[in-house]
Amino acid sequence: MVDVKSFGERVIDSLEKVIVGKRQSIELVAIGLLCQGHVLIEDVPGVGKTMLARSLARSMDCVFNRIQFTPDMLPSDVTGVSIYNQQVNKFEFRPGPIVGQVILADEINRATPKTQAALLEAMEERQVTVDGITHPMPKPFMVLATQNPIEYEGTFPLPEAQLDRFLLRLRLGYPSIHDEIRIMDDQQLQHPIEALTPAVTAEEALQAIEAVKRIYVSPAVKRYIVDLSTRTRQSQDVYLGASPRGSLSLARAGQARAALQGRDHVLPDDIKALAVAVLAHRIIVSPAARLRDLSSDRIMQEIVLSTPVPGGSFTAESAREN
């Protein structure tokens, strides 16, 4: 059985060779990987969104595909097409760029809703259907999508169904002065990604993913997760709250965070630390709250602060004793 903490440290250390000074964001990506969830990276150009996805694929020696979304892209450009082979007198499937292991969906909000919908089946069902034939995705499979939050011309906002498919949303942000100088030094002769070698294997990743599923989540923590989701649905500032998929995602992410820290059980602190990243992008802010310039992140932070945190012991042993 693979040691998840050791696995996570190797992945994070490998990514930090390329992405400087963003350990918290890198840890979220590692959590996404361990949950086999997809990550939405929302930030301005030039802060390392694309490089983060490339580095993750290279760290695991996985197949990396990049999809550069444009308004004229068709669904078949993503999923692939069936082409008639005259030599064998039958149609053959030519896979699109979505068929890979680590997929970078670059500027996803530039694609039309029809093309964005082509991603839904791949992200949720881990398969694509072309001409009535279903083609499974390789394992592990993870989509890292990027979007520019300040450029609205020629973009199509992601629908709620699409946003709900992303386990986490994160922002890298600008580096500190010290980190930016270090980035310049590191890239003076060559980019650090050129020297990056695999830190783990895809097989180890699959074993770690299975190990995370066995992390214990106590009834009190499950109730805490549901309380947070319920409060998003009851808030006056929220038009549409988090779905049950949000609760499941928060529990799964909590398991991954606990495993990365070497624990066999989830603590309320794990849930508090991940609530904004997992739930904020799933809620729709009400028009009245928008007028007050309230963001979904701010609303989620207030919900976390106002929700009572359970106490007691949260291990499987204590549950058996009771």
Each residue's pLDDT tens digit, 28-68? 999 999 998 899 988 777 778 888 888 988 888 888 899 88
66 vs 140: CA distance, rounded Å: 16
Q: What is the pLDDT of residues 195-232, one digit of tens each?
A: 888 888 888 889 999 999 999 999 999 999 999 999 99
Tell me: pLDDT of 259 over 60.
yes
Asked whether residue 1 carries a pLDDT value surpassing 60, the answer given is no
pTM greater than the 0.95 cutoff: no
Chain centroid offset of residue 223 CA = 24
- CA 278 to each of CA 104, 116, 169, 246, 306: distance values in angstroms, whole numbers, following the listed order: 19, 21, 7, 7, 18
8 A C-beta contact, residue 202 and residue 61:
yes
Q: Would you state the pLDDT for residue 193?
A: 86
Do the beta carbons of residue 281 and residue 297 sit within 8 Å? no
Report pLDDT for 270: 92
Q: How far apart are CA 288 and CA 290, in angstroms?
A: 5
Q: Between 141 and 322, name the one with better pLDDT.
A: 141
Q: What is the distance between the alpha carbons of residues 271 and 280, in angstroms, rounded to a whole number? A: 13
- pLDDT category, 176, cuts 50, 70, 90? confident
pLDDT, residue 117, reads: 79
| Cβ proximity of 147 and 47 under 8 Å | no
Per-position DSSP letters for 196-262, written without gaps between them: ---SS-HHHHHHHHHHHTTSB--HHHHHHHHHHHHHHHH-TTEEE---HHHHHHHHHHHHHHHHHTT
* Cα distance between residue 57 and residue 173, in whole Å: 22
Comparing 224 with 155, the larger pLDDT belongs to: 224
| Highest mean pLDDT: which range of 112-126, 173-187, 252-266 | 252-266
Distances (CA, A) of 266 to 6, 168, 205, 262: 18, 18, 20, 11
Contact 64, 53 (CB under 8 A): yes
Q: Report residue 123's pLDDT band, with 50, 70 and 90 as the boundaries.
A: confident
Q: Are 146 and 105 in contact (CB under 8 A)?
A: yes
Distance CA 34, CA 30 (A): 6
- What pLDDT shows up at residue 320? 66
Hey, what domains does the chain have and what are their CATH numbers?
A: 4-211 (3.40.50.300), 215-310 (1.10.8.80)
Structure tokens at 310: 């359970």
pLDDT digits (tens, 9 = 90+) for 68-96: 888 888 888 888 888 888 888 888 888 88
Helix (H, G, I), strand (E, B), or coil: what is residue 90?
strand
Q: Residue 251's pLDDT is what?
A: 93
Q: Which amino acid is at 8?
A: G
Other CB atoms within 10 A of residue 149 CB: 11
In which band, very low, low, confident or very high, does the pLDDT at 256 lie, cut at 50, 70 and 90?
Answer: very high
Local confidence band at 312 (pLDDT 50, 70, 90 cut-offs): confident
Q: Residue ranges of the alpha helices (H) in the chain?
A: 4-16, 23-34, 49-60, 75-79, 113-125, 160-163, 177-186, 202-212, 219-234, 244-260, 268-279, 287-291, 296-306, 316-321
